Chain A
């Protein structure tokens, strides 16, 4: 049973007849330039928008009301309330999501030195991003989706966030899909590579297979796909 399957999915003018499959759980990278359709694909998997045509499956189940509860979705824009403290942001998440693990979130905010009493608007940009990632990682949903969690951040913070995701996603029972337009920094963290351009999925491959059976790096295979 595959993690995600798209069958001939059409959506507005963004996706035409898109078919691909992610066969296994793990850390999945969705790479593509701005406007390639990444965000649309993520919204479709999360069941937040519906395709005009075609079918989408998550863990063998047609995407819909049932699967929506199995996805923790973190949108690209900042979605925290600026006037809430860190602690209040955690409390709100606990009220909104039945799968929210407050203890995990508290442990992570302490570990990353986020002051519980500080209002979100007074946090640095990097720390606001950390808090968003913590709130998403603290949900026990089988699938976590993060839309461009690294964009607009400095390289150290980006690296830090990737480490957090690799360490705190519960990979025994959770998968995570992360979209980004930069591949180099995420390459070593990926189980599966998805590469999109102009609404088409040019690559969907297990990354260690590429290295093992074809002797290719992620960049090699992306270059080849663009030829």
Chain B
């Protein structure tokens, strides 16, 4: 994974977002092992201490768990993962609606524009 980071925002939260997305997409499934801190650091090109911090923060939120001597794993708690996905989805929708409001669009406009752009992309199903 190559990433461009927002250099004025904490990197560890941005790393968490990357992992949350991979988990929600199912690229990393319940119970799957995360790459080691060191491997992730090299892959993403950031400080291993920063990766360590994002793993700790994900653990604090229950999304991953560290087993001594074995590594870090995505939780098997499927309900928690579903709640995470819903939370991230709500956040994205909120951000989207906020920026549309900034552009002066009404809720009705927004809905019809979404529909027409999805039809234009032929993307109504997936």
Contact = CB atoms under 8 A, between A and B. Distances in A.
Interface residues of B, number: 17
A222 to B, nearest CB: 12
Given A27-B49, A171-B48, A190-B47, A211 B10 contact: yes
Nearest to A218: B7
The CB with the most chain B CB atoms within 10 A, among A188, A190, A212, A217, is that of: A188
Interface of B: 5, 7-12, 38, 41-42, 45-50, 53
Contacts of A205: none
A99 interface: no
Interface of A: 26-27, 159, 163, 166-167, 171, 187-191, 208, 211-212, 215-220
Nearest to B5: A188
Contacts of B49: 26-27, 171, 191
B36 to A, nearest CB: 10
Given A208-B12, A208-B50, A208-B53, A163 B45 contact: yes
Contacts of B53: 208
Given A188-B11, A208-B12, A27 B38 contact: no
A212 B8 CA distance: 8
Given A166-B48, A191-B47, A208 B42 contact: no
A156 to B, nearest CB: 13
Contacts of A188: 5, 7, 11, 45-47, 50
The CB with the most chain B CB atoms within 10 A, among A163, A208, A216, A217, is that of: A208
